[in-house]
Chain A
Amino acid sequence: MRFSSKATTLLILIAVIAIAPVFFPSSYYFRVGSLIFVNGLAVTGLVVLIGYAGQISLGHAGFAGIGAYACALAPVHLGLHPALAAVFGAALSATIAFLVGRPILRLKGYYLAVASLGFGILVSMVLSNEARLTGGPDGMAVPELGLRGVLRTVGVDLSNTEFWYAFSGLVLVLGAWLALNLYHSPTGRALRALHGSEIAARTVGVDVAHYKLVAFVLSAVYASVSGSLLALQNKFITPDVAGFMHSIEMVTMTVLGGAGSVLGAILGAVILTTLPQVLTIFQEYEQLMLGLVMMLVMIFMRQGLLPSIARSVRGRGE
């Protein structure tokens, strides 16, 4: 089986999202599922940035924060419908990513990591400090999306958790489809080329600075939409969404699952979203176990979980 192929990935993703609810014993699982999809979306964006283009960002939660607070603020102050507010947030994130990305993407490796980290901290500071607008560290309420009510009028009656499971799942599939399209496209090849060898990419005509910026802006839009979805389904938001820990979580999920593949990174989101719940049986050792799992995966499966497993399965078949 080729995990990289577009159809296979989409099929697996749709099948799992559609079939999983059959095994859900309570509505709590729908809630965990939609959290996985929200994280999965942000992580899919990071696959474009990290996996395709080979660039790092430790500040992408900043864009999630922009997307989240756009949904909280734009309906109140600009009179936008919450759905339009999410689109507005994505456009704002893209603009900011364009402006921030230009100077910082000239940096490489850990210099880029630190610069992007600074950006993330800046956003979360602004959100915490502008208390009059954002409610500060206590957070603020987010208006209802209203789509569930519309569905009810056409005869589709979903509970709140069911609706957000289905809706986030749908957005994730759409996001995955776009990222997979990109992979096999001229733009995707340019990104992967500059990842493989910047110098060779330049000599075949790739404007490296431009394409790094493309990857940065795209991944920022993914993070922004992910933040919007989180805000809309929780109906409440705090500056933590833009925090350092959230940025680190995103990158960890991506790299742990396998930054090179969309399905791998989403698997990373599944594991790191559910593992803390599972590991509660270890009680005070929960964080310890989580750290141990992360270290072991990176030591023994440098490519990330899914690509490493796929490779060993293929290796045995031959």
Chain B
Amino acid sequence: MSLLQIEGLGIDFGGLRAVHDVGFSLKPGEIVSVIGPNGAGKTTLFNMISGVYAPGRGRVVLEGEDVTRMPPHLLARRGLSRTFQNLQIFQSMSVLENAIAGHHLHERGSVFADLFSLPASRRRSKASEESARVLLERVGLGRAAEQEAGSLSYGALKRLEIARALALKPRVLLLDEPAAGCNAVETEEIDHLIAKVAAEGVSILLVEHDMKMVMRISNHIVVLDHGEKIAEGEPAAIARNPRVIEAYLGAQATEVQNADG
């Protein structure tokens, strides 16, 4: 059974059909990539799935439950987590605190206990701090824990967002261009991390421009152009699809061939 099912999803901004009639599904532990040129509607699609935008048409079904237009914090409780293409970091917090904040659903409790710093409150904070440190190690930010988040490089902040999203212990993880701004070594690390997270049973929906990475780790690829799905299938088939090559891969053809070989 599919974990996440998207059916005929669409939204307009004024006269612009940003996304129209997009559908696909995601099985447990599967990595599905959404690719397409800039402005194709990938981020808008993510925003509709994660409850940031209310879709004008279609449905989002999570584990058999219709969650269309459900606010993000309720989707989070159902195990859906995401990162942002345009970073959304808690700037005035340290790197560690950003990662701890991702544990909100696991650490929240009574305000009273928090005000008086009761043992229960301190225990919850301690547990999420320990987990946050493990997650920071996992994304290669273990040594930056005490730094102010604002002082990190763009690539490092991307990885911090992944750590924060993992803190939720999600069942579905939406990653919007996680490797943007990362160097080759960092990109490879993110590549491994995503594969490992998926191997643990988390379903991953990925938007990424690095085609080597997309072709290597995706089980399934959905191609968007001008807000519509123009193709969908296994990486090898997508790489050969003439319509996809024309709309998007043309410019990146050499890279894709390298990845194939």
Question: Interface on A for B, CB 8 Å cutoff?
Answer: 178, 181-182, 184-190, 192-193, 195-197, 199-208, 214, 218, 260
Of the listed stretches B103-111, B137-145, B193-201, chain A binds: B103-111
Q: Are B125 and A197 in contact (CB under 8 A)?
A: no
Of the listed stretches B4-12, B114-122, B227-235, chain A binds: B114-122
Contact for A204 among B51, B81, B116, CB less than 8 A: B81
Measured between alpha carbons, how far is A196 from B73 in the docked complex, in Å? 16
Q: Does residue B97 face the partner (Cβ distance < 8 Å to A)?
A: yes
Q: Are B168 and A260 in contact (CB under 8 A)?
A: no
Contact for A203 among B72, B100, B103, B111, CB less than 8 A: B72
If A193-B104, A199-B52, A202-B71 touch, does A181 touch B114 (CB 8 Å cutoff)? Answer: yes
Min Cβ gap A7→B in Å is 12
Q: How many A-B residue pairs have CB under 8 A?
A: 113
Min Cβ gap A228→B in Å is 19
Measured between alpha carbons, how far is A192 from B164 in the docked complex, in Å? 15
Q: Are A181 and B104 in contact (CB under 8 A)?
A: no
Q: Are A192 and B121 in contact (CB under 8 A)?
A: no
CB-defined contacts of B104 to chain A, threshold 8 Å: 186, 189-190, 193, 201, 204-206
12 residue pairs bridging A and B, Cβ less than 8 Å apart: A186-B104, A186-B128, A189-B104, A192-B90, A193-B90, A193-B101, A197-B88, A200-B90, A203-B76, A203-B82, A204-B102, A214-B111
CB-defined contacts of A199 to chain B, threshold 8 Å: 52, 72, 84, 88
Determine the main DSSP class of A at the interface with B.
helix
Q: Are A202 and B72 in contact (CB under 8 A)?
A: yes
Q: Are B115 and A196 in contact (CB under 8 A)?
A: no
Which of B52, B88, B109 is packed against the most chain A CB atoms within 10 Å?
B88
Contact for A200 among B75, B84, B114, B125, CB less than 8 A: B84
Q: Are B128 and A181 in contact (CB under 8 A)?
A: no
Kindly report which residue of chain B lies nearest to residue A51, judged by CB atoms: B92
Question: Interface on B for A, CB 8 Å cutoff?
Answer: 50-52, 71-73, 75-77, 81-82, 84, 88-93, 97, 100-105, 107-109, 111, 113-117, 121, 124-125, 128, 164-165, 167-168
CB-defined contacts of B102 to chain A, threshold 8 Å: 204
Measured between alpha carbons, how far is A218 from B116 in the docked complex, in Å? 13
Q: Are B105 and A205 in contact (CB under 8 A)?
A: yes
Kindly report which residue of chain A lies nearest to residue B91, judged by CB atoms: A196
CB-defined contacts of B88 to chain A, threshold 8 Å: 197, 199-200, 203
CB-defined contacts of A188 to chain B, threshold 8 Å: 114
Contact for B101 among A189, A207, A214, CB less than 8 A: A189
Contact for B114 among A187, A193, A196, CB less than 8 A: A187
Kindly report which residue of chain B lies nearest to residue A202, judged by CB atoms: B72
Min Cβ gap A174→B in Å is 11
Q: Are A208 and B117 in contact (CB under 8 A)?
A: no
Q: Are B125 and A204 in contact (CB under 8 A)?
A: no
Contact for B117 among A185, A200, A201, A260, CB less than 8 A: A185
CB-defined contacts of A196 to chain B, threshold 8 Å: 89-93
CB-defined contacts of B81 to chain A, threshold 8 Å: 203-204
CB-defined contacts of A206 to chain B, threshold 8 Å: 73, 104
If A178-B116, A186-B109, A204-B168 touch, does A192 touch B73 (CB 8 Å cutoff)? Answer: no
Kindly report which residue of chain B lies nearest to residue A210, judged by CB atoms: B73
CB-defined contacts of B52 to chain A, threshold 8 Å: 199, 202-203
If A186-B124, A186-B125, A187-B111 touch, does A197 touch B89 (CB 8 Å cutoff)? Answer: yes
CB-defined contacts of A201 to chain B, threshold 8 Å: 90, 101, 104
CB-defined contacts of A203 to chain B, threshold 8 Å: 50, 52, 72-73, 75-76, 81-82, 88, 165
Kindly report which residue of chain A lies nearest to residue B88, judged by CB atoms: A200
Q: Are A189 and B100 in contact (CB under 8 A)?
A: yes
Q: Are A207 and B73 in contact (CB under 8 A)?
A: yes
Min Cβ gap A258→B in Å is 12
Measured between alpha carbons, how far is A252 from B62 in the docked complex, in Å? 48
Q: Are B76 and A202 in contact (CB under 8 A)?
A: yes
Measured between alpha carbons, how far is A214 from B108 in the docked complex, in Å? 13
Measured between alpha carbons, how far is A193 from B108 in the docked complex, in Å? 13
Q: Are A202 and B116 in contact (CB under 8 A)?
A: no
Measured between alpha carbons, how far is A25 from B243 in the docked complex, in Å? 87
Q: Are B105 and A181 in contact (CB under 8 A)?
A: no
CB-defined contacts of A189 to chain B, threshold 8 Å: 93, 97, 100-101, 104, 107
Which of A178, A192, A196, A200 is packed against the most chain B CB atoms within 10 Å?
A200
Q: Are A192 and B93 in contact (CB under 8 A)?
A: yes
Q: Are A204 and B76 in contact (CB under 8 A)?
A: yes
Measured between alpha carbons, how far is A205 from B81 in the docked complex, in Å? 9
Min Cβ gap B92→A in Å is 6
Min Cβ gap A311→B in Å is 11
Measured between alpha carbons, how far is A184 from B77 in the docked complex, in Å? 23
**Told that A192-B92, A199-B88 touch, could you supply 16 new A-B pairs with CB distance under 8 A?**
A181-B116, A182-B114, A185-B117, A185-B121, A186-B114, A186-B125, A187-B111, A192-B97, A193-B101, A193-B104, A199-B52, A202-B73, A205-B168, A208-B73, A214-B111, A260-B92
